[in-house]
A and B are shown apart, each in its own frame.
Chain A
Amino acid sequence: MVVLCPAEVYGAGDTKLVTAGNLKAFLIDPVVLLPRTGGTSICAVADVAAACISALTRGTPGERYILGGPNLTVEQLARCTLKLAGGAQARKPILRIPGGLLMALVRLLTFLHLPSPVERGVLEFALLYWYFDSSKAGRELGYPLRSAEEVLTPVVNW
């Protein structure tokens, strides 16, 4: 038995916009609104799939492996996405809002039964830092450590 722990997985073909929805919002919104805090480790879906196969033969039984990648703040994630999109997107303004204020707004919208741009549960996650070290998976499973550009380019192009 081997346990794999993927971080935030990105990839082309995310038709339900599970994670690509974040990037889509960065690209569509005229002004990117972001919390001041929060960050995440991102990884490519193809690498996670390959690691699942590799774990069957190379994983040490009973071990846990983190499948992460570059650790980015939410702002770095947005800036990288806009830069990859190029053109006017790269110059789009980014407005950083205190997390507490955002949370209060979402709670108010929820209380009033009004549509919220983000679920409260998702925002709770987004305000925290989910930074991880994947070097063990790199050593033992051959999991590649990619740059943010390498992870995000297929999604932005898609």
Chain B
Amino acid sequence: MRTREQLALLLETSGRGSRNVLDAAKDAGGLRVVFVSSVAAINCSRTPDRTFAEDAAAEPLAGTLGYSAVKRAAEALVATYVQACLVVRSLCPSESVPARKVCPWLSSAPRRCTAPVIRSW
């Protein structure tokens, strides 16, 4: 993946594919989602003296690499779903109440959760 067009295509494919799966999981309800990302989304180093864990702060170096940028974008997308779903779950204990009625600000984002979102979580 070298050209700007190829990178854009990769970003689009990864983003749309992830969104499709996450939306389907929400719509189905009660599903657990395991999102397979990559260590490329975490961090890297120019020297061999650093080992990264899950909570490593993102640094610009990895972000300059196309694949890393795509994976980071996908994880950011996942985070928005997790955040939205967790909020909806805590605010909307009734399974029959649409999220937007209780959390109108959620409607500003595309395809926000309707309660219950992922009940088993």
- Asked if A and B bind, the verdict is yes
Chain A: interface secondary structure?
A: mixed
Question: Taking the nearest CB of chain A, how far is it from the CB of B45, in angstroms?
Answer: 5
Q: Which residues of B contact A41 (CB under 8 A)?
A: 39
B: contact size bracket: 35 or more
Count of chain A to chain B residue pairs whose CB atoms are closer than 8 Å in the complex? 99
Interface residues of A in 128-149 (CB under 8 A from B): 128-133, 136
A: contact size bracket: 35 or more
B66 contacts partner chain A, Cβ-Cβ < 8 Å: yes
Interface contact B42-A5, CB-CB below 8 Å: yes
Question: Taking the nearest CB of chain B, how far is it from the CB of A110, in angstroms?
Answer: 8
Q: Which residues of B contact A62 (CB under 8 A)?
A: 82, 86
Binding-face segment, A21-29, A52-60, A83-91: A52-60
Given contacts A3-B78, A5-B42, contact A131 B65 (CB under 8 A): no
Interface contact B48-A131, CB-CB below 8 Å: yes
- Chain A contacts to B: CB under 8 angstroms: 1-7, 37, 39, 41, 52, 55-56, 59, 61-66, 68, 71, 73, 110, 119-121, 124-125, 128-133, 136
